[in-house]
Amino acid sequence: MSAGENFIDQIKICCRSGAGGPGSAHFRREKFAPKGGPDGGNGGRGGHIILKGNSQLWTLLHLKYRKHVLADDGERGGPSRSSGLSGEDIVLEVPLGTVARNTETGEVKFEITEDGVEHILVPGGRGGLGNENFKTATNQSPRYAQPGEPSIEEWITLELKLLADIGLVGLPNAGKSTLLSAISEAKPKIADYPFTTLVPNLGVVPYRDHRSFVMADIPGIIEGASEGKGLGLRFLRHIERNSALLFMIPADAKNLNDEYQLLLNELKKYNPELLDKKRILSITKSDLLDEELMEEMKKDLPNDIECVFISSITNTGIEELKDLIWRILNE
């Protein structure tokens, strides 16, 4: 199975919580108290369906074939004020950055961002109250108890937005995968044609003094990505989580500034807030350039962004780039 098939970033599951158990309408009947009062216990709560963050997971693959998730019902209340047992909760572990939404309405329920944190996805029904709860001065022997609340069934969509420190933004073939494989342990598929990267690749980049940061290679943006062309929207959403963006433009691009504006424009159309993120520009494949040509090209570069010329093949500018990224991330 290729990495692409392993990377599942969206799934739909049908979730049904447990129904609450009914309360009991029992009366105490003992040898010495033939007309004892009501002592019916409460019904148990139905099982919740819960999502729990797990920082060791990178994908939703483990849930791909789990189409139905059904929690147990609560048990009926018993005599002598004994409560019914609650239905067992079901806990689904998901990667950090998972967003849960109602499939039909699109409403976002919550987002999982921390390891070990649990959120109730679909709550179980409350158990019904037993008849002892309904005893009053005027009604000493109520013969009724509450039914439990019904279960809730809904289709849930889980979407993963990758959590990375820096996201790579560039047209197909800008050298993003090559850079990621050169400076981290990630081994993305690399070839000299557009759209080699069909799934986001994450790489942990080692830095000085045993520190590191996480870099995400997001498949190439093409003009029209924000309208869903190419691999469009599915990947743009991963950029939303990155704290900084590294724009990558190859040295052989026709016009560096035009290509930079095109990338900015796609991000803006998709979500204007992305433009508030810190930005760095790298000119890739710069092993093709001599000093004179580099100086000439610098005149075409946008003024409002720090820029570094790099080559993943010859390692030129890579340390300088890592220093720049570290500084930007920690400002």
- As a whole number, the mean pLDDT across the chain is 82
149 token code pair:
């609340």
**How confident is residue 162, by pLDDT bands cut at 50, 70 and 90?**
low
| pLDDT surpasses 70 at 63 | yes
Residues 290 and 206 in one domain: yes
**How confident is residue 51, by pLDDT bands cut at 50, 70 and 90?**
very high
Per-residue three-class SS string for the chain: CCHHHHCCCEEEEEEECCCCCCCCCCECCECCECCCCECCCCCCCCCCEEEEECCCCCCCHHHCCCCEEECCCCCCCCCCCCCCCCCCCEEEEECCCEEEEECCCCCEEEEECCCCCEEEEECCCCCCCCHHHHCCCCCCCCCCCCCCCCCCEEEEEEEECCCCCEEEECCCCCCHHHHHHHHCCCCCCCCCCCCCCCCCEEEEEECHHHCEEEEEECCCCCCCHHHCCCCHHHHHHHHCCCCEEEEEEECCCCCHHHHHHHHHHHHHHHCHHHHHCEEEEEEECHHHCCHHHHHHHHCCCCCCCEEEECECCCCECHHHHHHHHHHHHHC
Q: So what's the pLDDT on residue 13?
A: 96
Residues 43 and 81 in one domain: yes
306 token code pair:
């720090």
User: Which residue, of 138, 160, 182, is where some domain finishes?
Assistant: 160
| Sole residue written with tokens 């000493």 | 140
- Give per-residue pLDDT as tens, 267-325: 787 677 778 888 999 998 888 888 888 888 888 788 888 999 988 888 888 899 999 98
Residues 265 and 201 in one domain: yes
| pLDDT surpasses 50 at 193 | no
Mean pLDDT calculated for residue range 191-214: 60
Q: So what's the pLDDT on residue 208?
A: 79
Comparing 59-73, 177-191, 260-274, 315-329, which segment has the lowest mean pLDDT? 177-191
Q: So what's the pLDDT on residue 32?
A: 72
What is the domain range of residue 53?
1-160
Q: So what's the pLDDT on residue 131?
A: 92
- Give per-residue pLDDT as tens, 229-245: 544 455 556 566 667 88
| pLDDT surpasses 90 at 78 | yes
Predicted model pTM: 0.60
Higher pLDDT residue, 44 or 327? 44
Residues paired with 51 in a beta bridge: 92, 119
User: Which residue, of 160, 192, 220, is where some domain finishes?
Assistant: 160
CATH of the domain at 27: 2.70.210.12
**How confident is residue 200, by pLDDT bands cut at 50, 70 and 90?**
low
Residues 179 and 120 in one domain: no
| pLDDT surpasses 80 at 123 | yes
Looking at the structure of the chain, the number of domains it has is 2
Mean pLDDT calculated for residue range 20-25: 95
CATH of the domain at 209: 3.40.50.300
User: Which residue, of 130, 160, 190, is where some domain finishes?
Assistant: 160
